[in-house]
Amino acid sequence: MGLLKRSIGILLLICLHWGCSYLRLQQVPAPAGGDWRMYGGGIGRTNVSHSSVEPPLAMLWEYDASAGFSPFSGAIAGNYLFVGNLSGEVHVIDIPTGKGMGKYDFGAAIVGTPVVDRDLVYLALSRTEESLLAYNLVTAKIEWHAKLGDIETSPLLMRGRLYVTSLEGSLICADARTGEIIWRFMLPANLRTRTVRSSPASDGAVVVFGCDNGDVYAVGVDDGKLRWTSKTGGSVLASPSVTLGKVFVGSLDNTFYAFDAGSGNLVWKQTLDARIYASQAVNDHAVYVGTSGRTVFSLDAQTGRVLWRTTTNSVINAPPLVSGSAVYVGSLDKTLYAFDSASGEFLWQYKSEGRIKTMPVAAGQYLFLFAEDRSVMAFKHSGPP
């Protein structure tokens, strides 16, 4: 028996050191007020943190996630950070220490942010037949999987249902506990393109997403029926934000749009300096959006008027994050910038080893940065500048 215990202990140490593909938690992550359990921080995808992590920041730890990331970042539940990478692995990191708690290789690229709900993690996979699944963190087993086609977006969890868009041009609603398809909305076959790379967002009444054909669609959450369609002048790759009674989204036509969430009518639009690939952050007063022209804009949420603008040193491909009074923006110049959300004043920056193509996230006292060199970094406020 002693030899068996020692053997098990040695195997456990090897797995912890070398990263065996095994992911099991002894207890379900306890809910916390600042949790970030899905992309965008909630169903509206506003990219505004409930926590206030103010610059200047100091790095606490760095973790090697073994592969790069998509523009969608990690999820936070309790003391755990859940990170999916483009090699198909999900890593769980202990936030206070930066130590890996385990990982699991799902065999296909994970583009979207994991969704964490009690004992389950929901994942959307790219380039595989079984592209939506639920993994049980306690039993270390896949509870169910569904064949939905390629998915390169982040699932949305709302009232026991999962909503996800697929590359083939569909919005699917599935039962979160069983994986059973409740309804499926398909874009018309006669469109010039039906490719969807925009994650769904919701206000609880409709689910909204954009399409490469330049249209924005709103579908009823319960019945999957089309409520409205609104047009932009270019492909909509960004994920919308739904808040303040509006749908906010940018397009490749260099224009940012606000539509009425109930009717789809245009409320305002603002022409910016370049294409908009990434999603936006929206608080009660302003919309923050980065462009391929290296510029960060703050727009009045009610009128679209430019409140301020500032520049970085390269293209912005990742959504900004609002935490406290700061707006954090990553750029392809390998730099994370922090600007004052009210004035646009430069506050702080950090130069990483890899380009930043993924939005940061914040919870509790921590801000997390994801770099192209496959690094995950944790930061904490370091006191007055």
End-to-end CA gap in the chain? 57
Homologous superfamily of 35-48+57-379? YVTN repeat-like/Quinoprotein amine dehydrogenase (2.130.10.10)
Contact of 204 with 221, CB cutoff 8 Å:
yes
Per-residue pLDDT at 6: 37
Q: Beta partners for 184?
A: 172
Helices (H) and strands (E) in the chain, counts: 1, 32
pTM of the model: 0.93
Contact of 267 with 281, CB cutoff 8 Å:
no
Q: How far apart are CA 113 and CA 96, in angstroms?
A: 21
The domain limits of the chain are 35-48+57-379
Q: Beta partners for 217?
A: 209, 229
Per-residue pLDDT at 93: 97
Q: How many residues does the chain have?
A: 385
Q: Which residue has the tokens 């076959």?
A: 189
pLDDT of the chain, 385 residues: tens digit per residue:
443 343 333 333 334 333 457 899 988 887 777 899 999 999 999 999 999 999 999 999 999 998 889 888 899 999 999 999 999 999 999 999 999 999 999 999 999 999 999 999 999 999 888 899 999 999 999 999 999 999 999 999 999 999 999 999 999 999 999 999 999 999 998 898 999 999 999 999 999 999 999 999 999 999 999 999 999 999 999 999 999 999 999 999 999 999 999 999 999 999 999 999 999 999 999 999 999 999 999 999 999 999 999 999 999 999 999 999 999 999 999 999 999 999 999 999 999 999 999 999 999 999 999 998 899 999 999 977 5
Q: What DSSP string describes 152-217? A: -S--EEETTEEEEEETTTEEEEEETTT--EEEEEE--TTSS--------EESSSEEEEE-TTSEEE
Contact of 301 with 294, CB cutoff 8 Å:
no
